[in-house]
C-alpha cells in the first residue's frame, strides 16, 4: 500500500518547501487563462443547440447573442480591472464576502464556487473527450472511460503536487490561441472567397414570427445564458494578483485586458465562421471540429487542432485542481467544512480536497454520461452568482473606506455587479427546468450543511474545554475491573492474563458457549491453570456473542459503581494477508459495538503469529 502510494505520489516533502514564484505577464496569461479561453471550444455550440429548438432558421441569431456576450465580457473586464487595482492582495468571492458582507452571503458564494469548480472539471474533461472523439469516432464507446481516466490522471499529478506555474503548462495555451487564430484567419479567407453560404438575415425574416411569441424570446434568453459559459474563469487573474511580478497590479490589469481581448476575438470568430459555413450541431462531432474540418480538410492540421483543443480543455480542468482544494481549505479553516480538508498531505498539497474534487467530478461525468450539453445548464448560475457577490463585497468595502477611491472605480464595479446580477437571474429562469434547479437546490443545502458542521465543531469545543475548576475536583483513582473473553485455554489467554495482572487485581474471564455441555470441560481445564481467576460461563442459545456480553457488562456496571471497566481483546496478527480470512473476526465486530454502546475501555493485545 505505502509503496504504491510512494510510486504514484512521490516521497514526502518538508513543510518549509512551501514557496511562491513570481510570474511574468506572458506566463501568467497562460496559467490563469486556460479555463476562460478553453470555453470557446464549446460556447458557440451551446448557443446553437438551444436555438435548434426553434429550427436552424434562427441560427443567424447566434451572432447578436455573441455580441451581447461580448458586451457583458467588456463590462466584467472593466469591473475586474478596477478590482485588481483596489484589492491587489487578491482573494476570491468567498473571502471578500466573508470579510465585508455577511457569513451567510460568503457561504452562498463558497457553495456556488465549489459547485463551479466541480463543474469546470466535468465540463472541460467531457468537452476535451468530445474533441478527441470528433477526430477519432471509433473511440466513442469509451467516451466515459476516457473521461474518468483523465480525471484520475489529473488527480494523481496534483497529489504529487505539480507547480501550476511550470513553463510546460504555458505551451498548450499559446498553441491553442495560435491554432484558433489561424483557424479564424484561414476560415475568414475561405468565407471571403466562397461567399457566405450559411445562415443569414434573409432567413431571419421567415424566423421572426417565432420570436414574436414569448416562447421564442425565452429560447433566445436561454441561448444567451448557455453562451455565457464562455465567461467562466475570467475572474481567475484578479484572484492571482500576488503571483505577478511587480508592479503586480498594473501587470495583472494588462494581462486581464489581453485575456479578454483574445477570448472575445476567438469566441466571435468561431461564432461567425459557424454561421458563415452553416454548421449545425451534430451528436458526435463538435461544432468547432466541424469548422476545423471545413477549413483544414482531413489533413494532419485538423487532427493537430483537435489534439490541441483537447489539451487546453484538460489544462482548464486542471485549474480547478488548484482552486477547489485551496477554497475548501479556507472554508474548512473557518470550520464550515471537515477539518481534514484543511490539512496539507505529505506532498504539501491539500490531498483530501483533490480527492474530493475528483470523486465529485467523476460522479457528474458518469451520471451525465460525459455529455457536455447536459452539464452546461448547471454551469452559469454559480459563476455569475459568485461574480455578483464578489463585486458586491468590493463595492461595499470601497464605500465604507472612502479613502479617496475615485467614483469611477465604484461606478464601474457597481455596473459589473448589476449586469452579472441580471445575468444570474436570466440564467436561473431560462435554464431552470434544464438542470439549473439542481444547482439552485444544492446551494442552500450546502449552506445548511456548512452551518451544521460549524455547529458541531462549536459544541465539540465547548464539551472538550477543560476548565481549571473542574480539573481540580480530581476523581479518586480506582483499579479497573478487567474482563477477558476467552474460548479455551491457550497461550493467547496466558498472555492476556499476564497483562491483566499488570494493570489490576480484579480480573474475570468470560466464556460464551453455544452448547450447554461445553461448560464442564472448560471449567476443569481452567481450574488446573488459573484457579485464582474467576471464570464466568454464559450459555447463548441463539449463538450470538454480542448480546450476552452486553448483558454481562450491564450487570457488572451495576455492581462496581465508578470503577472503570476494561475488556482485554486479543488480536491475531497474521504473516500473510489472506490468513486473516481464516480467523474469526468476531473480536473486531464486538469491539466496534461495545465501544459504541458502553463507556468501557477496550484494550487490544496483538498476538503476532509466527507463520
370-389: which residues touch a copy of itself (CB under 8 A)?
Answer: none
DSSP helix, strand, coil percent of the chain (3-state; round to 5): 75, 5, 20
Instruction: Decide: 179 and 305 in contact? Cβ < 8 Å.
Output: yes
Beta carbons within 8 Å of 319's beta carbon, 6+ residues apart: 32, 34, 35, 120, 164, 233, 236
Per CB under 8 A, the segment of 115-123, 199-207, 390-398, 542-550 that binds a copy of itself is: 542-550
Cβ at position 13, least distance to a copy of itself in Å: 7
Per CB under 8 A, the segment of 41-49, 177-185, 379-387, 596-604 that binds a copy of itself is: 596-604
Restricted to residues 233-252, the positions that interact with a copy of itself (CB under 8 A) are: none
Select 395 or 482, whichever has its Cβ closest to a copy of itself.
482
Cβ at position 601, least distance to a copy of itself in Å: 5
Q: Residue 490's Cα: distance from chain center in Å?
A: 52
Measured CA angle at 330 (ends 341, 26), to 5 deg: 110
Check residue 201 for interaction with a copy of itself (CB under 8 A).
Answer: no
C-alpha cell at 545: 456473542
Q: b or e along 408-428 (b: 16 or more beta carbons within 10 Å of the residue's beta carbon)?
A: ebbebbbebbebbbebbebbb
Select 163 or 490, whichever has its Cβ closest to a copy of itself.
490
Restricted to residues 117-136, the positions that interact with a copy of itself (CB under 8 A) are: none
Cβ at position 582, least distance to a copy of itself in Å: 5
Cβ at position 534, least distance to a copy of itself in Å: 18
C-alpha cell at 216: 421564442
Cβ at position 466, least distance to a copy of itself in Å: 5
DSSP string of 3-18, one letter each residue: HHHHHHH-S---GGG-
Site string for a copy of itself, 409-448 (x = CB under 8 A): ----------------------------------------
- Three-state DSSP string of 227-249: HHHHHCCCCHHHHCHHHECCCHH
Instruction: Decide: 570 and 587 in contact? Cβ < 8 Å.
Output: yes
Instruction: Decide: 150 and 125 in contact? Cβ < 8 Å.
Output: yes
Restricted to residues 550-589, the positions that interact with a copy of itself (CB under 8 A) are: 564, 566, 571, 573, 579, 581-585
Q: Closest by alpha carbon to 482, among 468, 462, 496, 466? A: 496
Check residue 515 for interaction with a copy of itself (CB under 8 A).
Answer: yes
Cβ at position 589, least distance to a copy of itself in Å: 11
Angle, helices 300-333 vs 170-194, to 10°: value is 130
Residue from the set 3, 4, 14, 168 that interacts with a copy of itself by CB under 8 A: 14
Q: How far, in Å, CA of 545 to CA of 485, rounded? A: 10
Restricted to residues 258-287, the positions that interact with a copy of itself (CB under 8 A) are: none
Per CB under 8 A, the segment of 107-115, 188-196, 366-374, 450-458 that binds a copy of itself is: 450-458
Select 261 or 514, whichever has its Cβ closest to a copy of itself.
514
Restricted to residues 346-365, the positions that interact with a copy of itself (CB under 8 A) are: 346
Residue from the set 168, 502, 558, 559 that interacts with a copy of itself by CB under 8 A: 502
Instruction: Decide: 332 and 341 in contact? Cβ < 8 Å.
Output: yes
Residue from the set 213, 406, 544, 554 that interacts with a copy of itself by CB under 8 A: 544
Q: 268's torsion region: left (phi>0), alpha (psi -120 to 50) or beta?
A: alpha
Per CB under 8 A, the segment of 30-38, 92-100, 158-166, 451-459 that binds a copy of itself is: 451-459
Site string for a copy of itself, 282-321 (x = CB under 8 A): ----------------------------------------
Instruction: Decide: 563 and 478 in contact? Cβ < 8 Å.
Output: yes
Residue from the set 284, 339, 369, 523 that interacts with a copy of itself by CB under 8 A: 339
Restricted to residues 125-184, the positions that interact with a copy of itself (CB under 8 A) are: none
Restricted to residues 453-492, the positions that interact with a copy of itself (CB under 8 A) are: 453, 456-457, 459-460, 463-466, 468, 471, 474-475, 477-480, 489-492
Cβ at position 11, least distance to a copy of itself in Å: 9
Cβ at position 475, least distance to a copy of itself in Å: 6
Q: Closest by alpha carbon to 285, among 266, 306, 265? A: 306
Q: How far, in Å, CA of 465 to CA of 468, rounded? A: 10
Select 181 or 600, whichever has its Cβ closest to a copy of itself.
600
Phi, psi for residue 601 in degrees, rounded to 5: -95, 135
Check residue 401 for interaction with a copy of itself (CB under 8 A).
Answer: no
Per CB under 8 A, the segment of 14-22, 191-199, 224-232, 376-384 that binds a copy of itself is: 14-22
Select 67 or 478, whichever has its Cβ closest to a copy of itself.
478
Residue from the set 4, 7, 16, 402 that interacts with a copy of itself by CB under 8 A: 16
Q: How far, in Å, CA of 90 to CA of 94, rounded? A: 11
Cβ at position 2, least distance to a copy of itself in Å: 9
Q: Closest by alpha carbon to 429, among 229, 232, 230, 218? A: 218
Residue 206 to residues 65, 212, 213, 275: CA-CA distances in angstroms?
18, 12, 14, 17
Q: By rule CB under 8 A, what count of residues binds a copy of itself?
A: 75
Instruction: Decide: 232 and 253 in contact? Cβ < 8 Å.
Output: no
Give bridge partners of residue 507 from the DSSP assignment: 482
Cβ at position 384, least distance to a copy of itself in Å: 31
Residue from the set 6, 369, 501, 523 that interacts with a copy of itself by CB under 8 A: 501
Q: Closest by alpha carbon to 152, among 365, 419, 349? A: 365
Coil, strand or helix at 508: strand
Q: How far, in Å, CA of 183 to CA of 193, rounded? A: 15
Cβ at position 274, least distance to a copy of itself in Å: 38
Per CB under 8 A, the segment of 187-195, 202-210, 297-305, 539-547 that binds a copy of itself is: 539-547
Amino acid at each position: 500500500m505505502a509503496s504504491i502510494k510512494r510510486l504514484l505520489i512521490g516521497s514526502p516533502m518538508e513543510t518549509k518547501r512551501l514557496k511562491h514564484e513570481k510570474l511574468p505577464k506572458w506566463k501568467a496569461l497562460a496559467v490563469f487563462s486556460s479555463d476562460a479561453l478553453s470555453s470557446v471550444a464549446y460556447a458557440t455550440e451551446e448557443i446553437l443547440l438551444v436555438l435548434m429548438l426553434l429550427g436552424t432558421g434562427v441560427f443567424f441569431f447566434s451572432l447578436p447573442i455573441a455580441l451581447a456576450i461580448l458586451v457583458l465580457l467588456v463590462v466584467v473586464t472593466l469591473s475586474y480591472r478596477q478590482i485588481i487595482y483596489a484589492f491587489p492582495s487578491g482573494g476570491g468571492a468567498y473571502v471578500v464576502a466573508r470579510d465585508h458582507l455577511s457569513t451567510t452571503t460568503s457561504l452562498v458564494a463558497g457553495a456556488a464556487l465549489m459547485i463551479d469548480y466541480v463543474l469546470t472539471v466535468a465540463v472541460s474533461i467531457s468537452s476535451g473527450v468530445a474533441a478527441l472523439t470528433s477526430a477519432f469516432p471509433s473511440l466513442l464507446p469509451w467516451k466515459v472511460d476516457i473521461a474518468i481516466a483523465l480525471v484520475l490522471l489529473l488527480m494523481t499529478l496534483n497529489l504529487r503536487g505539480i507547480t501550476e506555474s511550470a513553463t510546460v503548462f504555458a505551451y498548450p495555451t499559446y498553441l491553442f490561441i495560435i491554432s484558433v487564430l489561424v483557424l479564424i484567419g484561414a476560415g475568414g479567407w475561405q468565407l471571403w472567397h466562397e461567399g457566405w453560404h450559411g445562415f443569414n438575415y434573409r432567413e431571419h425574416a421567415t424566423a421572426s414570427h417565432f420570436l414574436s411569441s414569448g416562447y421564442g424570446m425565452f429560447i433566445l434568453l436561454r441561448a444567451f445564458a448557455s453562451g455565457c459559459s464562455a465567461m467562466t474563469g475570467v475572474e481567475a487573474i484578479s484572484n492571482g494578483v500576488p503571483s505577478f511580478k511587480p508592479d503586480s497590479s498594473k501587470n495583472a490589469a494588462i494581462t486581464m485586458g489581453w485575456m479578454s481581448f483574445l477570448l472575445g476575438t476567438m469566441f466571435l470568430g468561431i461564432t461567425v465562421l459557424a454561421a458563415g459555413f452553416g454548421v449545425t450541431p451534430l451528436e458526435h462531432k463538435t461544432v468547432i471540429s466541424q469548422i476545423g474540418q471545413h477549413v483544414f480538410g482531413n489533413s494532419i492540421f485538423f487532427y493537430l487542432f483537435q489534439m490541441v483543443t483537447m489539451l487546453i480543455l484538460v489544462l482548464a480542468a486542471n485549474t480547478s485542481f488548484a482552486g477547489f482544494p485551496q477554497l475548501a481549505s479556507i472554508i474548512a479553516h473557518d470550520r464550515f467544512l471537515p477539518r481534514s480538508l484543511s490539512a496539507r498531505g505529505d506532498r504539501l498539497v491539500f490531498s483530501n480536497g483533490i480527492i474530493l474534487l475528483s470523486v465529485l467530478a467523476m460522479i457528474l461525468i458518469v451520471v451525465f454520461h460525459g455529455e457536455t450539453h447536459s452539464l452546461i445548464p448547471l454551469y452559469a448560475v454559480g459563476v455569475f452568482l459568485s461574480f455578483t457577490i464578489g463585486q458586491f463585497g468590493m463595492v461595499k468595502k470601497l464605500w465604507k473606506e472612502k479613502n479617496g477611491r475615485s467614483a469611477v472605480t465604484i461606478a464601474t464595479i457597481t455596473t459589473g455587479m448589476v449586469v452579472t446580477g441580471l445575468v444570474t437571474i436570466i440564467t436561473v429562469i431560462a435554464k431552470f427546468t434544464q438542470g439549473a434547479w439542481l444547482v439552485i437546490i444544492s446551494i442552500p443545502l450546502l449552506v445548511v450543511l456548512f452551518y451544521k458542521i460549524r455547529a458541531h465543531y462549536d459544541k465539540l469545543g465547548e464539551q472538550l474545554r477543560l476548565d481549571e475548576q473542574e480539573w481540580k475536583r480530581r476523581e479518586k483513582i480506582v483499579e479497573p475491573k478487567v474482563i477477558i473473553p476467552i474460548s479455551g485455554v491457550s497461550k493467547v489467554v496466558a498472555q492476556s492474563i499476564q497483562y491483566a495482572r499488570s494493570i489490576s487485581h480484579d480480573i474475570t474471564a468470560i466464556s460464551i458457549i453455544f452448547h450447554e455441555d461445553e461448560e464442564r470441560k472448560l471449567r476443569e481445564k481452567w481450574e488446573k491453570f488459573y484457579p485464582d481467576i474467576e471464570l464466568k460461563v454464559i450459555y447463548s442459545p441463539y449463538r450470538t456473542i454480542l448480546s450476552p456480553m452486553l448483558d454481562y457488562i450491564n450487570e457488572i456496571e451495576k455492581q462496581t459503581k465508578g470503577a472503570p471497566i476494561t475488556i482485554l481483546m486479543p488480536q491475531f496478527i497474521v504473516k500473510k494477508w489472506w490468513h486473516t480470512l481464516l480467523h474469526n473476526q468476531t473480536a473486531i465486530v464486538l469491539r466496534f459495538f461495545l465501544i459504541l454502546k458502553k463507556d468501557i475501555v477496550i484494550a487490544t493485545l496483538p498476538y503476532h503469529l509466527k507463520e
